[in-house]
Amino acid sequence: MTTALAHSPAAALDFVPGAPPPATLRADIWRGIAAENPVLVQMLGMCPTMAVTNVLANGIAMGVATTFVLVGSGLFVSLLRKYIAHEVRITSYILIIATFVTLADLLLAASFPEISKALGPFIPLIVANCLLLGRAEAFAAKVGPVRAVADGMGMGIGFTLSLAAMSAIRELLGRGSLLGFDILGPRWEPWVFMVLPAGGFFTLGLLLITAAWIDELRRRRRALEAK
């Protein structure tokens, strides 16, 4: 009985093992921004997070490019989910992702050649960002195209916001400027450390410790209220 059900196309939709529970579109988008933020909570996509966040413009460009690939690959993985055989699914997802990454690479090189040059091989390296394969496998392959796009948007926005926060801190302290505009004035002594690779690890470490600190404060307040 159950096998017959599972083979009928209408039931197959509801019978995906491990499918995410139904949620509103708003919840699908919001999840990637806060509760499952790719960088601060899931710790996925670390390489671009560190490598391109020494200047705010680069961080935002990388975030937007990754969002584009997340939405595009999510849509196509979801549309093709019933035609991709289980055994070759990872390869197929990688191919879809690589196609969108190539698109993003060429579009960026055509419209913003300077940013494209600054990001260099890190745009093609979006293919190897585990966030993309992770979302394709865990979400897009199990839901309809609308939800997949919403999830891609949410994750992309969450990723972009984390990158923007990281790069704003690093550019402000490391160069005294934001988006190239001088903010802290000529008397500011730039912290060269922040734009060095070590500053990337350090900034993310401090962000994580701050997030854990806020969590801990909240937990304590709740414990006090419970008493």
Residues that bind other proteins (CB under 8 A): 43-44, 46-47, 50-51, 90-91, 94-95, 98-99, 101-102, 105-106, 120-121, 124-125, 127-130, 133, 193, 196-202, 204-206, 208-209, 212-213, 215-216
Nearer to other proteins, 64 or 130 (CB): 130
Query: Cβ of residue 10: shortest distance to other proteins, in angstroms?
Result: 35
Nearer to other proteins, 118 or 196 (CB): 196
Q: d(Cα 46, Cα 226) in Å, to the nearest integer? A: 38
Say which residues have a Cβ less than 8 Å from residue 73's Cβ, sequence separation at least 6. 93, 96, 97, 100, 132, 136, 140, 152
Among residues 165, 16, 39, the alpha carbon closest in space to that of 89 is found at 16
Nearer to other proteins, 57 or 94 (CB): 94
Query: Cβ of residue 76: shortest distance to other proteins, in angstroms?
Result: 14
Nearer to other proteins, 79 or 98 (CB): 98
Say which residues have a Cβ less than 8 Å from residue 3's Cβ, sequence separation at least 6. none
Query: Cβ of residue 44: shortest distance to other proteins, in angstroms?
Result: 8
